[in-house]
Amino acid sequence: MDEDDRARLAEFVASRTPALMRVAYLLTGDRHAAEDLFQSALARTIPRWRTLRNADPEGYLRTVMYREQVSWWRRLRRYRESLLTGAHEVPAADPSGGTDLRLAMRAALRHLPPAQRTVVVLRYYEDLTETQVAQALGCSVGTVRSRTHRAVARLRQLLPDVELLEVRR
Amino acid sequence: MTSPLEDLIRTTLTDLAEEAPTVQDQLQPAERRARTRRRATVTMGAVGTLAAVLIAAPLAVAQTSSETPQPAAPTAPPPRPAEPTSEATPAPRPPLPGPATPAAPRPAATPSPAAPAPGKPSGPARPARPAPTPPTAVPSPVGTEVPPGRPSPVPPGSPSPR
């Protein structure tokens, strides 16, 4: 990689890191895991930078992050790490209205499996369609639908006060 | 149309995204990781190739040695062409020159597309001619040597003088 390519890569990383780190943090739910995911995706993108610099490097990097998040190897490693870190803390009740529900939703999102969590992030944060999500993850549209349905059902199950939310509206 | 639950999911995800950590200079560790990854890929490829060679080489040697025949083992003789027997009719041959009767066919006289002798230029294709057989003796009365072509003094079957 020559100096020009390296300068463009450094500029790209410096300009797009905050947005990509937000997505990585939403995908993983943990600061260190998000940093690791972003670095891993960036390490996979750097060898292909010459072919990507004139195309869409951010799209490639995002796709690598999405697929890396749901990969089998990463899931295995994450399982070992989750045994060491106590990432399943239950939020305490908050007397302010709605805050406890959001905290409960955060905890419920953390309890989702990586595949379902990724689909939720892509559908409700990135606002991608089912077809776009399927293309990004390399799976079928039916798989995206089923994962989304299971994720929402799981969130309903984990949120005991979701019926109250329906009543409040 | 979005349900309240979906709105809650969006709101929560937006709040979470705002809490994302700010990191500095991710390029250096990513490059280091890419180099490590490349090195590991090359190493694993070399190890895999070496393992494949180590496994396949004895199998290939064993396969090759089992296909070649043993040097001392008797081999089956190659099939020979059936030799003509006395009862067998001789193969059609080109007409022989001279009045000699055709003798018993010899293997050497059998016309065959034999290869030309080494060192001789192979000429145009000509039908192989059988080697001339020696003239066979014509049966004649005992004791009387008559040159061929002359009438014998004593006709056969005539009463001899007593």
Q: What is the ipTM of this complex?
A: 0.78
Tell me which of B92 and B81 has the higher pLDDT. B81
Residue A6 confidence class, pLDDT cut points 50, 70, 90 = confident
Q: Do B4 and A124 touch (CB under 8 A)?
A: no
What is the number of residues in chain A? 169
Read off the pLDDT of residues A34-73 as tens digits, 9 standing for 90 and up.
999 999 999 999 998 888 877 888 999 999 999 998 887 6
Q: So what's the pLDDT on residue B162?
A: 41
Is the distance from CB of B15 to CB of A102 less than 8 angstroms? yes
How far CA B56 is from CA of A40, B45, B127, in Å, comes to: 36, 16, 55
Read off the pLDDT of residues A81-131 as tens digits, 9 standing for 90 and up.
554 444 444 555 555 556 778 888 888 898 898 899 999 999 999 999 999
Tokens of B41: 């890929």
Tokens of B66: 């089992």
Distance (Å) from the alpha carbon of A132 to chain B's nearest alpha carbon:
18
Residues in chain B with CB shorter than 8 Å from the CB of A156 are 5
Out of B15, B17, B29, closest to residue A39 by CB: B29
**Nearest Cα to Cα of residue A63 among A137, A143, A113, A140:** A137
How far CA B95 is from CA of B98, B108, B109, in Å, comes to: 9, 17, 13
Please tell me the number of Cα atoms within 13 Å of B99 on its side-chain side.
4
Out of A24, A43, A109, closest to residue B33 by CB: A43
Tokens of A26: 């939403």
Q: So what's the pLDDT on residue B52?
A: 97
Q: So what's the pLDDT on residue B102?
A: 52
Q: Do A124 and B37 touch (CB under 8 A)?
A: no
Question: For the residues of B78-136, what is the DSSP string, one character each?
Answer: PPPPPPPPSSSPPPP-PPPSSSPPP----TTTS---PPPPTTSPP-S--PPPPPPPPPP
For residue B35, give the chain A residue with the closest CA.
A43
Residues of chain A contacting B, Cβ within 8 Å: 9-10, 13-14, 17-18, 21-26, 29, 31, 34-35, 38-40, 42-44, 46-47, 101-102, 105-106, 109, 120-121, 124-125, 152, 155-156, 159, 162, 165-166, 168-169
Q: What gap in Å lies between CA B39 and CA B42, rounded to an integer?
A: 5
- Identify the residue whose tokens are 């500029």: A11
Q: In this structure, how many other beta carbons lie within 10 angstroms of the beta carbon of residue A137?
A: 20
**Nearest Cα to Cα of residue B9 among A49, A56, A156:** A156
Q: So what's the pLDDT on residue B87?
A: 53
